[in-house]
Amino acid sequence: MTSSLERKPPRPRAGLGFEGRILRLVKSAPELRAIESGQVDAVIDPATGKAFLLPDAQLALREDQTRNRSLLALSADWTWELDQDYRFISHSSIAAGNAAPYGAGAIGKRLWELPFDLEEADWKVHRRLLEWRTTFRDLELRCTDRAGEVRYVSFSGEPIVDRKGNFTGYRGITRDITERRRVAPIPENGGASRAVLKVPVREQRAATQDRIANHVLAALPRKDYLGLLDGLDAVTLTYGTVLYEPEEPITHVFFPVDCLVSLLTTVEGHHATEVGLVGREGMVGISHALGMNVSSVRALVQGTGTAMRMSAARFRKAFEKCPPLQRALYRYTYAKLALARQTVACNRFHVIEARLARWLLMTSDRVLSDEFILTQAFLGDMLGVLRAAVNKAACSLQERKVISYSRGKIRILDRTGLEAASCRCYTRIEGLNPDAVP
C-alpha cells in the first residue's frame, strides 16, 4: 500500500515549518486532509513521542496568554507565588514602577513575617487556611509604606497542585485598596482583617463570617451562602452536651465554627467508641443530608465553642435547592466515610501511642489550637482502650517532649515530633479533607 503522501503531496502551507519531518509520518488520508484544511493544532512525532504545536496554534495560545495577562493587569496590582512553605518565590510589579508598599524584600519571606498590622490570632486562622489548602479571598492587611503613609492591600490566593496532585504552593494577586478604604474608613476598634466596608448588615455578616466560618459554608458561592444565612443562628455548644442520641430524630444540624463534636458509636456493655470527629471542616447531622432524619451515632460536644445551627426542616429545604451545598456535603460525606474506614483499620492494627498522637493532631487541627482539655478516661473512650493504657501512651509522648499533659490539660509542644509519632493514618486522613480535593 502506498501512503497518501506519495499519491498526493501536501500543498506547502505558509508557516508550516516542520512538515518535511512530521507530515511524512502521517500516513492516512484523514489526518492529512485535516492538516491541509487547518483543523489540526498539534502533531505527535512517533519517533520521539513528543507533541508539536502547529504554528497557528502556537500563535493562538500565545495570544491567549497575553490576553490573560492583560486581564490580570486590569484586576490586580501585583501577582505573586509562594512555595510549599508559604515563602514568596516571586512577586511581580505588573505596572512598571509600581512597587508594593510592603517592600521589595518579600522574596523568601512568609506573609506573616512582613511588616503587616494584624493580630497573631488572625494570622493563625490564615495559616490554618493555608494548611488546609483552601483558596483565600480578600485578606485585607494594613501596612506603612516608605513614605510613612498607611496603605491597605488585599491578598487573594489559590493553591497550586501539580499534575500528580501534590501541593506545590500558592499563587495569587494583591490589590491596593487604600483609595477604597479612604472612602469608607474602618472603625478604630476593628482589626484590619475583620474590617468591612459600609455594606448592609447581612452582607457584612457574610463578609466577616467568611474568614472564620465553617468550611462547608465558606465553600459555597456567595449567593447561596447569603441565602442560607437567614436560617442560621450562632449557638455556643458547651463541653459534654449531647447533640444527638442514636435512633433519635434530628431536630437541628450544626456547622461547627470553633467547637469540636465527637461522633460515638455505642456497643452493648462497653463504653462508647469514637467513630468520627467534626470540626469546622464539616457538619454535624450529615445523615439528614443523606435522607435519614435519625442519627446513627451519639454526637457529643468535646470542645466548647460556637457553631452555626439550622433547623432540620429548613436545612432540608435549603439542601434541595442548593447544588453547591449538595456537592460540598457529598464530598464531606465521602471524606467522613473514608475516615471511618481508616479509623477502623487504625484501631485494629496500630499501637495506642500512635493512635493517641493521631487523635491529638486531628483535634488540634479542628480546634485551631495547640492546647485543649481532655481527661484520660475520656481519651480512653475515644480510642476504645483502658484509661491506664492512655496514661502509658501519654507519658511516653510526654517523655519525648512532644506534648505536656497535666490534670487533663494537653499541650502540643512539638508538632513535627507528634506527627512523627502518629501513624500514617493521620496524613492519609488529612489528605482526604474535602478541601484538599480540588
Partner 1 sequence: MPRRKKKQGRSGRAVGTVVVMRLYIAANAPNSALALANLAAICNEYLGDKFKLEIIDVLENPLRALADGILVTPSLAKVSPLPAAKIVGNLGEKSTVLRALGVKERTH
Comparison of 163 and 348: residue with beta carbon closer to partner 1: 163
Residue 101's Cβ-side half-sphere holds a number of Cα atoms within 13 Å equal to 23
**How far apart are CB 37 and partner 1 at their closest, in Å?**
7
Comparison of 61 and 377: residue with beta carbon closer to partner 1: 61
Comparison of 56 and 158: residue with beta carbon closer to partner 1: 56
Question: Sheet harboring 409-412: ordered strands across?
Answer: 371-373, 409-412, 403-406
Q: How far apart are CA 286 and CA 293, in angstroms?
A: 9
Q: How far apart are CA 337 and CA 255, in angstroms?
A: 18
**How far apart are CB 407 and partner 1 at their closest, in Å?**
56
Comparison of 62 and 182: residue with beta carbon closer to partner 1: 62
Q: How far apart are CA 114 and CA 111, in angstroms?
A: 6
**How far apart are CB 36 and partner 1 at their closest, in Å?**
11
**How far apart are CB 332 and partner 1 at their closest, in Å?**
25
The cell 507533541 sits on which residue? Answer: 51
Comparison of 61 and 420: residue with beta carbon closer to partner 1: 61
CA angle 157, 159, 162 (to 5 degrees): 145
DSSP letter for each residue of 148-166: S-EEEEEEEEEEEE-TTS-
**How far apart are CB 26 and partner 1 at their closest, in Å?**
6
**How far apart are CB 58 and partner 1 at their closest, in Å?**
8
Q: What is the 3-state secondary structure (H, E, C) of 278-293?
A: ECCCCCECHHHHCCCC
Comparison of 27 and 316: residue with beta carbon closer to partner 1: 27
Binding stretches for partner 1 (CB under 8 A): 25-26, 30-31, 33-35, 37-44, 46, 49-51, 53, 56-57, 60-61, 64, 163
**How far apart are CB 32 and partner 1 at their closest, in Å?**
9
DSSP state at residue 87: B
CA trace torsion 73, 75, 77, 79 (10° rounding): -70
C-beta of residue 132 within 8 angstroms of C-beta of residue 281? yes
Q: Which residues contact 288 (CB under 8 A, 6 or more apart)?
A: 250, 253, 312, 315, 316, 319
CB atoms within 10 A of CB 90: 12
Comparison of 56 and 245: residue with beta carbon closer to partner 1: 56
C-beta of residue 368 within 8 angstroms of C-beta of residue 125? yes
**How far apart are CB 163 and partner 1 at their closest, in Å?**
7
Comparison of 1 and 183: residue with beta carbon closer to partner 1: 1
**How far is CA 374 from each of CA 121, 339, 347, 378, 407, rounded to the nearest angstrom?**
23, 22, 20, 7, 9
Comparison of 39 and 166: residue with beta carbon closer to partner 1: 39
**How far apart are CB 22 and partner 1 at their closest, in Å?**
9
CA-based Rg of the chain, rounded to a whole angstrom?
28
Comparison of 31 and 145: residue with beta carbon closer to partner 1: 31
Give all strands (DSSP E) within 279-382, no chain letters: 298-303, 305-311, 371-373
**How far apart are CB 30 and partner 1 at their closest, in Å?**
5
